[in-house]
Structure 1
Amino acid sequence: MKKLTSIIALAISIGATENTQAQSALKEQGKNPFTLVYDGAIIKNEKGKVNIHPVSYDIGGVKIAANIYTPAGFNPAKKYPTVAVAHPNGGVKEQVAGLYAQRLAEEGYITIVADAAYQGASGGTPRNTDKPANRIADIHAMADYISGFKGTDTAKLALLGICGGGGYALKAAQADKRFKAVATLSMFNSGEVRRNGFLNSQVATIQQRLKQASDARAQEAAGGEIVYVGTASPTDEEIAKIPTDLYREGYIYYYRSYAHPNSTFKYTMSSLMDLMTFDANTNMDLINQPLLMIAGSKADTKYMTDEAFEKATNTRNKELFLLDGATHIQTYWKPVYVAQAVNKLVNFYQVNL
């Protein structure tokens, strides 16, 4: 178990095929005026097609960078169903969240995806602060902003959270009834994993890690250096030895195949004081909106979706949809799984909005 914990702390991986994909993806990123790195990304706005609109707004004095996608033939005088998309931990709006936002726009939805405060292209210091309250506020603020965007049908506003954004989407939806339907993809309960370790591999060190986080905050408060975790940069060989799909494939995705300069696994050590006392599963009975939770059948994170789904006892309807054969990270980019997930999301939103 100790060996697993140390390996997971490195969290990375790659192979020959992924190297080829990485070179291609990074090359395409250099060409993309919006720095989008996902497959099939918009490279220019054209009349009659899905368009992307970079926007910004403030959350308590912190400037937020966001992208809005509008459907083909968009007419601001009309009303369109709208989806806010929350990105994964360490991710940015130009990666998987942007991919799903664009795919939903292709199906007739206005979508918005924003970099979390203190992360990506958004403002805020210390950089890469990663606190649940901030991430939940980000989701509420996306609803605030998109509700004032011409063309948005606020009566048909929905939410999609991916990975860590999925856990925060569940928490946001518990209180924010502007969201009429809620969906998650490969939901990741950030608090549970930061507290117990992935697959409960670090339960024995909870108090030690809370002490480290407390010490880091004290150092920050005294004007000292900001302490960061998640800063490892393993070699390809070290990556390939990681036993868990989530971290092995995750580092391929984030550091190789679909890397973006604003994306990082790094976050402040002091953030653990908030992360380790958070749990996406609490108060799940407050969700009364229709709920769809999508996960890969082979995802080693599926247990988190199962836990949350079981506790959603007061929703009018809920569904657990499995992508057969998919791992967690494969739901981010693999065309066959993305297509299945988008089709399911569209059906879900059409029925419930």
Structure 2
Amino acid sequence: MLKKLVVLGAVAMTISASGCAADYKNNPFGLVYDGAITANEPNAVNIHQVTYKLNGLDIAANVYTPKGYDKTNKYPTIVIAHPNGSVKEQTAGLYAQRLAELGYITIAADASYQGASGGEPRGRDFPANRVEDIFGMADYITQYPGVDTERLGLFGICGGGGYSFKAAQTDKRFKAVATLSMFDSGRVRRNGFQDSQLDSIQERLAQAAKARAQEAAGGEIQYAGSTKFTKEEAAKLPYALYREAVGYYNGNYAHPNADGRYPVSNLLEFATFDATAHAELINQPLLIIAGSEADTLYMAKDAYEKATGTKDKELYLVKGATHIQTYYVPEYVDEIVNKLQSFFGNHL
């Protein structure tokens, strides 16, 4: 089982993450992050659970409005894309709430086929879908009362960072773009993590094609990327990203809608996706944030170098942080929020 998961490039694998978190069962909005909203109150940041249609599917989203929100006013707004295998109630929600505390309207939605959003088969993870999800969030939130469409920002985390990097290449509604712990899902699923499986792509493509043929014939859907590991199994995973993700997604920050699975057949779409292809089309201000100790840092550096079309770009390193630690560790989150406040404040 472990071998199959690594070979397929599973990344959203989730024995205990340190830090405080809210139990989704005790939170009326299902939020799991530290300091999560438990009730909507006057003159405070509020959360609004909404649904909207995107390509015939029901998309579940949370909109956060700032303290003193008045729909007759105009507010800068940020679209937030969640990590692979994650849901809006986890780290995307944490940053959505923290940015709303700074005066922004924010939206975090579950990707199509994932979380509380519609679509079958469950867990379907096509790159084109994830980019379209970002466009769809922009479609919805730009019609929301109080949103200033000329001050719309985009913030993507992990896989959501890679998809945001891709979305910003063409969607100029986004006036400023930031990523955190950026993860290029196509590159990893194609080449293996840290380009470690370049020699097995043909074998894996054959496996994916066989899985798709089985689906087409009405057979069982084969899945990869399960988040269910014992401590002993997780300790044997080859990279810190995977080991720490087990703690985050199966530990204090677990959510029943975030199991990390995706169909094996999805590799047919991922194999030709590259988040950094056409990176020169990004002309908006760009902030790429990564942990200095993240084993995904190579992808952030690559994206930064390829983004030659913008005159305003920065690669910001959070000293001492690993990839997963940027999701929840209080001192790192505070530093990241402060950096986002400066970036979006200057550009929105």
How many Å separate the matches in 2 of 1:309 and 1:105?
Answer: 27
1:254 to 232, 239, 249: 249
1:126 matched to 2:127: no
Summarize the Cα distance change of 1:11–1:164 in structure 2 as closer, same or farther, 3 Å threshold.
Answer: closer
Q: Distance in 2 between matches of 1:143 and 1:84?
A: 7
Alpha-carbon spacing, 1:31–1:87, altered in 2? closer, same or farther (3 Å)? same
Is contact 1:284–1:313 with CA below 8 Å preserved after alignment? yes
Query: What does 1:227-306 align with in structure 2 at a 5 Å threshold?
Result: 227-231=222-226, 233-306=228-301
Structure 1 counterpart of 2:175, from 173, 180, 183: 180
What's the secondary structure of 1:46's corresponding residue?
coil
Q: What is the CA–CA distance in structure 2 between the aligned matches of 1:311 and 1:207, rounded to whole Å?
A: 27
Q: Residue 31 of structure 2 corresponds to which residue in structure 1?
A: 36
Aligned identity (percent) is: 61
Return the offset for 1:9.
Answer: 6.2
Distance in 1, matches of 2:345 and 2:116, equals 32
CA apart distance, 1:8:
7.6
- How far 1:236 moved relative to its partner? 1.2
Q: Does structure 1 residue 325 correspond to structure 2 residue 320?
A: yes
Task: Please list the CA deviations of residues 161-180 of structure 1 after superposition, one character each: whole Å capped at 9, or x if unmatched.
Answer: 00000000011110000000
How far apart are 1:233 and its partner, in Å?
A: 2.4
State the match for 2:77 in structure 1.
Answer: 82
- Name the amino acid aligned to 2:261: K
- Residue 169 of structure 1 pairs with residue 164 of structure 2: yes
Question: How far apart, in 2, do the equivalents of 1:25 and 1:14 lie?
Answer: 15
Is the CA contact (8 Å cut-off) linking 1:10 and 1:234 kept in structure 2? no
Determine the C-alpha separation between the residues in 2 that align with 1:8 and 1:129: 15
Instruction: Give yes or no for the alignment of 1:153 onto 2:148.
Output: yes
Matches within 5 A, 1:328-343: 328-343=323-338
Mapping of 1:32-71 within 5 angstroms?
A: 32-71=27-66
Q: Which runs of 5+ in 2 are unaligned?
A: none
Alpha-carbon shift at residue 11 of structure 1 (Å): 8.0
Which amino acid in 1 is paired with 2:78? Answer: V
**Root-mean-square deviation (Å):** 1.9
Distance verdict in 2 for CA 1:183–1:232, change over 3 Å? closer
**What's the TM-score once normalised by structure 1's chain length?**
0.94
1:6, distance to aligned residue in structure 2 (A): 6.5
Q: Does the 8 Å CA contact 1:87/1:165 hold for their aligned counterparts?
A: yes
Query: How far is 1:316 from its partner?
Result: 2.7
Which residue identity does 2:82 align to in structure 1? H
Q: After TM superposition, which residue ranges in structure 1, 4 or more long, deviate above 4 angstroms?
A: 2-13
CA contact (8 A) 2:82 2:157 kept: yes
Distance 1:117 1:7 in 2: 21
Task: Name whichever structure is richer in helix by fraction.
Answer: 1
The separation in 2 between residues aligned to 1:140 and 1:257, in whole angstroms, is 31
TM-score w.r.t. the length of structure 2 is: 0.95
Q: CA deviation at 1:350?
A: 1.0
The alignment covers a number of residue pairs equal to: 346
Tell me which amino acid in the other structure corresponds to 1:297.
S
Residue identity opposite 2:319 in structure 1 = D
Post-superposition shift, 1:234?
2.1
Shift of 1:241: 3.4
**SS at 1:65's partner residue?**
strand
1:240 shift after superposition: 2.7
Q: Which residue of 1 aligns with 2:90?
A: 95
Aligned twin of 1:224:
219
CA positional deviation for 1:225: 1.3
Aligned in 2, Cα 1:85/1:11: closer, same or farther, shift over 3 Å?
closer
CA contact (8 A) 1:184 1:294 kept: yes
Other structure's SS at 2:169 match: helix
Paired position in structure 2 for 1:202 = 197
- 2:177 maps to 1:211: no
* Residue 323 of structure 1, CA deviation: 0.3
SS at match of 1:174: coil
Go from structure 1 to structure 2 and tell me whether the alpha carbon gap of 1:3 and 1:59 turns closer, same or farther (over 3 Å shift): closer
1:278 aligned partner, one-letter code = F
Q: Name which of structure 1's ranges 209-218 and 81-90 shifts more when overlaid on structure 2.
A: 209-218
Residue type matched to 2:278 in 1? N
User: Please, which moves more after superposition, 343-352 or 80-89?
Assistant: 343-352
Identify which of 110, 114, 124 aligns with 2:109.
114
Assess, with a 3 A threshold, how the Cα gap between structure 1 residues 8 and 211 changes in structure 2: closer, same or farther: closer
Contact 2:13 2:226 in 1 (8 A): no
Task: Please tell me whether the aligned partners of residues 90 and 265 of structure 1 are also in contact (alpha carbons under 8 angstroms).
Answer: yes
Please tell me the residue identity of whatever aligns with 2:15.
Answer: I
Instruction: Work out the CA distance in 2 between the residues paired with 1:81 and 1:12.
Output: 34
Q: Displacement, 1:238?
A: 2.0
Mark the runs of 5 or more structure 1 residues left unpaired by the alignment. none
